[in-house]
């Protein structure tokens, strides 16, 4: 019997496995695809995330971002990013290396198999895969992303609309270390060009905007790039919309399966790794005191709920009034603000109060 089975080898699953394997627990990761596998993701990752993992950005060949440009139609504002504070990663490599590291620390990996059934017994869980294999464990971590089967199994009930992101990853020799964000393209969302090693990720994320119209809008950003043979891929973003049950006695949800993506930045890896850290702490505590894992839900939300709520509030102001917000941006050092937010040196609560102070709401 395993101590913990982790379903899914994305950032939250692989980091959960890594943290728990390092603590000496018997961990099995079950991933339905074979690694490395591609994921639609802009890949923006703050230094803080690497610190949580106790790994250097170079371990993942992360690409160091130096500047950010914000466009509103023909106008542009440029900001410096504090050095070594924001990076981009290729998700296939990021997830793969993290999983490998978990395995080097003793975790076991089962690839190309999908969990199709979970049975809860008194003191254990039995997991069945599509290839007919059965595994027993004390605990289960649901890291199977948005639309998670494990979330449904514990009755987490994420019944709401989520934004959609579409993206093309275009091979590009030496991209400049500049993230470009495009406002004014869609009502509730933005476009982006994220440079990565040898790649430009060109994408668009939008909420309440027709998915069918999105490729047409994205073509504005693609027009100077050679992208004809590159597939256009889409992915839903697991935004937070209020608290749900994220755990039962033996099961916890991490990352996208817990719907904890930052609704302002759309960045999901940081909270994925944070939730993995909280899952690790909860599981160790519950083993020690022989308690049910149910306390995990409160633990997650006591750390994240207020910030996610305020991030959502800010995104409402920001994306609803894009033209006016862009006009006000010359007053702020957006590079430092974004870097501080993503690295958790500034809280959304502080930003929210700043917005109330500086933005003349009567004009909105």
Partner 1 sequence: MYKAKNYKDYDDSTLIKLSQKGDEKAFEEILNRYSNRIINLATRIMGSVDDGWDVAQEVFVSIWKNIKSFDSSKNLYPWIRKITVNACYEELRKRGKGLESSLDDVEEGEPSIDLPDVKYSPEDNYSKIELNEVIEKALETLPEHYRITLWLRAVENLTYEEIAETLNINIGTVKSRINMARKLMRDKLKYYLEVKDESS
Q: How far is the CB of 161 from partner 1 (least distance, A)?
A: 4
Long-range contacts of 350-353 (CB under 8 A, 24+ apart): 351/310, 351/314, 352/310, 352/313, 352/314
Q: How far is the CB of 277 from partner 1 (least distance, A)?
A: 22
User: Rounded to an integer, what distance in angstroms lies between the CA atom of residue 23 and that of residue 33?
Assistant: 26
Looking at the Cβ atoms of 180 and 297, the one nearer to partner 1 is 297
Looking at the Cβ atoms of 116 and 356, the one nearer to partner 1 is 356
Q: Strand order of the sheet with strand 63-64?
A: 44-46, 86-88, 63-64
Looking at the Cβ atoms of 136 and 245, the one nearer to partner 1 is 245
* C-beta separation of 347 from 307 below 8 A: yes
How many other CB atoms are there within 10 angstroms of residue 238's CB atom? Answer: 25
Q: How far is the CB of 46 from partner 1 (least distance, A)?
A: 24
Q: How far is the CB of 322 from partner 1 (least distance, A)?
A: 14
b/e burial code for range 175-213 (CB count within 10 A of at least 16 → b): beeebbbbbebbebbbbbbbbbeebbbbbbbbbebeeee
Residues making contact with partner 1 (CB under 8 A): 155, 157, 159-161, 208, 241-245, 297, 305-306, 309, 312-313, 316-317, 320, 349, 352-354, 356-357, 361-362, 364
From the number of C-beta atoms within 10 Å of its C-beta (0-12, 13-18, 19+), residue 246 rates as buried
Q: How far is the CB of 354 from partner 1 (least distance, A)?
A: 8
Q: For the residues of 169-211, what is the DSSP string, one character each?
A: EEE-SS--SEEEEEESSSTTEEEEEEEETTEEEEEEEESSS-T
Looking at the Cβ atoms of 87 and 309, the one nearer to partner 1 is 309
Q: How far is the CB of 267 from partner 1 (least distance, A)?
A: 19
Looking at the Cβ atoms of 134 and 353, the one nearer to partner 1 is 353
Looking at the Cβ atoms of 80 and 349, the one nearer to partner 1 is 349
Cis preceding-peptide flag for 36 (omega within 30 of 0): yes
Phi-psi domain of 82 (left: phi exceeds 0; alpha: psi -120 through 50; beta: other): beta
Looking at the Cβ atoms of 155 and 231, the one nearer to partner 1 is 155
* C-beta separation of 136 from 26 below 8 A: no
Q: How far is the CB of 362 from partner 1 (least distance, A)?
A: 6
Looking at the Cβ atoms of 63 and 207, the one nearer to partner 1 is 207
Q: How far is the CB of 122 from partner 1 (least distance, A)?
A: 22
b/e burial code for range 255-265 (CB count within 10 A of at least 16 → b): bbbbbbbbbbb
């Amino acid at each position: 019997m395993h101590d913990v089975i982790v379903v899914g080898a994305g950032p939250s699953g692989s980091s959960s496995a890594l943290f728990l394997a390092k603590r000496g627990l018997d961990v099995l990761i079950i991933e339905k695809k074979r690694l490395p596998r591609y994921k639609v993701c802009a890949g923006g990752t703050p230094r803080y995330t690497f610190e949580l993992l106790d790994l250097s950005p170079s371990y993942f060949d992360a690409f160091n971002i130096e500047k950010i440009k914000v466009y509103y139609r023909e106008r542009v504002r440029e900001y410096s990013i504090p050095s070594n504070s924001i990076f981009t990663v290729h998700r296939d490599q990021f997830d793969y290396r993290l999983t490998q590291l978990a395995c080097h620390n003793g975790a076991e990996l089962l690839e190309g198999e999908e969990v199709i059934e979970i049975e809860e017994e008194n003191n254990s869980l039995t997991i069945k895969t599509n290839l007919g294999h059965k595994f027993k464990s004390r605990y289960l971590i649901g890291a199977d992303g948005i639309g998670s089967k494990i979330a449904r199994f514990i009755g987490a009930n994420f019944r709401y609309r989520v934004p959609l992101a579409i993206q093309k990853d275009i091979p590009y020799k030496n991209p400049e270390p500049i993230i470009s964000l495009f406002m004014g393209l869609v009502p509730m969302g933005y476009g982006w060009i994220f440079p990565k090693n040898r790649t430009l990720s060109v994408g668009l994320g939008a909420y309440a905007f027709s998915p069918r119209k999105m490729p047409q809008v994205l073509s504005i950003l693609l027009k100077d790039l050679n992208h004809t043979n590159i597939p256009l891929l889409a992915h839903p973003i697991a935004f937070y919309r209020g608290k749900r049950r994220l755990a039962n006695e033996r099961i916890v949800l991490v990352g996208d399966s817990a719907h904890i993506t930052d609704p302002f930045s759309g960045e999901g890896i940081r909270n994925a790794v944070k939730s993995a850290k909280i899952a690790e702490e909860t599981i160790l505590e519950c083993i020690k005191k022989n308690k049910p894992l149910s306390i995990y839900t409160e633990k997650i939300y006591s750390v994240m709920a207020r910030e996610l709520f305020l991030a959502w509030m800010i995104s409402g102001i920001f994306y609803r009034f894009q033209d006016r917000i862009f006009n006000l941006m010359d007053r702020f050092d957006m590079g430092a603000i974004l870097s501080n937010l993503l690295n958790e040196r500034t809280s959304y609560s502080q930003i929210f109060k700043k917005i109330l102070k500086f933005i003349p709401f009567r004009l909105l």
